Amino acid sequence: MTEPTDKTRASRRKFLVGAAGLAAVASRPALADPKNLPPNVADWTHTLGEAVGTHGYGSPSKYEKNVVRRTVSWLTATPESSVSFTPLHELDGIITPNGLCFERHHGGIAEIDPNDYRLMLHGLVDKPLVFTLEDLKRLPRVNRIHFLECAANSGMEWRGAQLNGCQYTHGMVHCVQYTGVPLKLLLEQAGVKANGKWIMAEGGDAAGMNRSIPMAKALDDCLVAYRMNGEMLRPEQGYPVRLVVPGWEGNVWVKWLRRLKVGDQPWYTREETGKYTDLLENGKARKFTFEMDPKSVITSPSPQAPLKRKGFTVISGLAWSGRGKVARVDVSLDGGRNWRTARIDGPVFDKACVRFYAEIEWNGEPLLLQSRAIDDTGYVQPSKNDLRKIRGVNSIYHNNGIQTWSLKADGEVENVEVG
Ligand code: MTE
Ligand code: CO
């Protein structure tokens, strides 16, 4: 039940049934122990609880052990160059807990001793610099909440509905608060030469992942970040330092950042030529598709979060845009024929996730659930078919098409497409 085993319909069905079965057991009130129910005094009131300080670093309740990142074993050739997915269907609000942020590594998780950590800044600058972690922490810092989405998020869905669960179809996204130094400040310290138009960011992991970033973006809102949600970055997220490139594809957010080189043109690295480009029908490929277009997904109900009862139901989901703020989210119950405006609740930040809700009365009728994001540039999230008209079906990256969930009379939910 933990992962969709392959792409056939039969096995998807098995996965679904498993997920629905588990949810039903967990929610059935009949399984409650009567001695713990009112008017009795429950077990946990009769004894002292664990001592303060038992858990130096706290963990979630043992009853929440299903709330974990998950991998799909057949998706990648090796576990070092692979991905784990955020359990979006188990979360609410806009902040992803650090331990649940999806991971994408090309050469495993680098283990870096912060004492040995150095960041080089060189190339077309007046004064090449090397920063220690302490140097970076001494500089003026800012706090910013941003989403990070891998360009390959929903990539499996280009040719049709594939994976049964928003964790797998949309779980290569997370949204946290970063603390770091504006990249602009480091560049000013080094003094960028007049012909310095691009920057190459390189990771210190075994993949040595590197990407070219235009100087205008580097000077705009990029951060050299060392904290997420208040604490130091997790090793999986690039400890001790990663690049934050708000609104742009996850691949350019170089982790375990070791080098920044200023140049007069892009480097055309492997990750921006052979990978992270989109092959069109005419055989040409789109290059430097940095910005992540508006996108949304209903996280509940969804295949891993089926409906347990009829009546008042809260539809909930996430929306984001790499172009600015999410201005509105619409929800459809009939596969996109009619739309209603969803309620965005909580803060709305630039290039960050927003949480939306739509409350309905569900009487057990089958529904085709969809959501679409509209950002403050006026961009409306397209249907998958409209996207295919422009981009063909050879793409992997940048699939921001509208997701459809088929809600059945029994409350189960399946990943489908509508014509
Ligand atoms: N940086 C390095 N050094 N090595 C990597 O493998 N993966 C990139 C990017 N930065 C990667 C990297 C990709 S493809 C993505 S989507 C994001 O990191 C994922 O960030 P996360 O693991 O914090 O979710
Ligand atoms: Co990626």
Does residue 5 surpass a pLDDT of 90? no
Instruction: Please indicate whether residue 205, judged by its CB atom, sits closer than 6 Å to ligand 1.
Output: yes
Ramachandran sector of residue 365 (left: φ over 0; alpha: ψ -120 to 50; beta: rest): beta
Average pLDDT for 31-49: 96
Position 115 scores a pLDDT of 98
Predicted confidence at residue 380, as pLDDT, reads 98
Contact 175 CB / ligand 1 (< 6 Å): no
Mean predicted confidence (pLDDT) in 200-212: 97
How many angstroms does the Cα of residue 27 sit away from the middle of ligand 1? 37
How far, in Å, from the CA of 83 to the mean position of ligand 2?
A: 9
The predicted pLDDT at position 24 comes to 38
Mean pLDDT (whole number) for 54-59? 97
* CA distances for 309 relative to 23, 28, 296, angstroms: 11, 11, 25
Nearest CA to ligand 1 atom 3: 203
The confidence score (pLDDT) of residue 6 equals 42
Task: Find out whether 232 and 289 touch, Cβ atoms under 8 Å.
Answer: no
| pLDDT for residue 30 | 61
Q: What is the pLDDT of residues 143-187, one digit of tens each?
A: 999 999 999 999 999 989 999 999 999 999 999 999 999 999 999
The predicted pLDDT at position 419 comes to: 74
In 3D, which of 366, 365, 287, 380 has the Cα closest to residue 330?
Answer: 380
Instruction: Give the mean pLDDT of 18-39.
Output: 63
Report which of residues 28 and 190 the model is more confident about: 190
Q: Is the pLDDT of residue 8 over 60?
A: no
Work out the average pLDDT over 29-42: 90
Measured from the alpha carbon of residue 149, the closest ligand is: 1
Mean pLDDT of 351-378: 98
> In this prediction, what percent of the chain has a pLDDT beyond 90?
87
Distance 272 CA to ligand 2 centre (A): 12
pLDDT at residue 274 in the model: 86
**Does ligand 1 have an atom closer than 6 angstroms to the CB of 250?**
yes
Q: How many angstroms is it from 407 CA to the middle of ligand 2? A: 30
Pocket mutation for ligand 1, best pick of 98, 175, 255, 397 (most atoms within 8 Å of C-beta): 255
pLDDT tens digits, one per residue of 251-273: 999 999 999 999 999 999 999 99
Given a contact cutoff of 8 angstroms between Cβ atoms, the answer to whether 209 and 271 are in contact is yes
Over 50: is that where the pLDDT of 19 sits?
Answer: no
Tell me the backbone φ, ψ of residue 82, rounded to 5 degrees. -155, -165
Q: Give the pLDDT confidence score for residue 349 in this predicted structure.
A: 98
Q: Which ligand 1 atom lies nearest to the CA of residue 276?
A: 14
Q: How far apart are CA 339 and CA 90, in angstroms?
A: 25
Tell me, in angstroms, the distance from the centre of ligand 1 to residue 397's CA: 15
Residue 370 — pLDDT band, cuts 50, 70, 90? very high
> Rounded mean pLDDT of the chain?
93
pLDDT at residue 288, rounded to an integer: 93
Strand intervals (E) in 94-197: 103-105, 119-123, 129-131, 142-149, 173-182
Q: Whose CA is nearest to atom 24 of ligand 1?
A: 103
The model's confidence at residue 77, banded by pLDDT at 50, 70 and 90, is confident
Residue 12 has pLDDT above 60, yes or no: no
CA of 252 to the centre of ligand 2 (A): 8
Structure-token pair, residue 113: 């001793």
Among 112, 253, 260, the mutation site with the greatest number of ligand 1 atoms within 8 A of its Cβ is 253
> Rounded to a whole number, what is the distance in angstroms from the first to the last CA of the chain?
29
What's the confidence (pLDDT) of residue 11? Answer: 42
Instruction: Return the SS3 of 3.
Output: coil
Give the pLDDT score at 418. 94
Quick one: which atom of ligand 1 is closest to the CA of 103?
22
Range scoring the smallest mean pLDDT among 132-136, 160-164, 310-314: 160-164
Is the beta carbon of 240 within 6 A of some atom in ligand 1? no
Sheet holding 119-123, edge to edge: 129-131, 119-123, 257-263, 198-203, 210-214
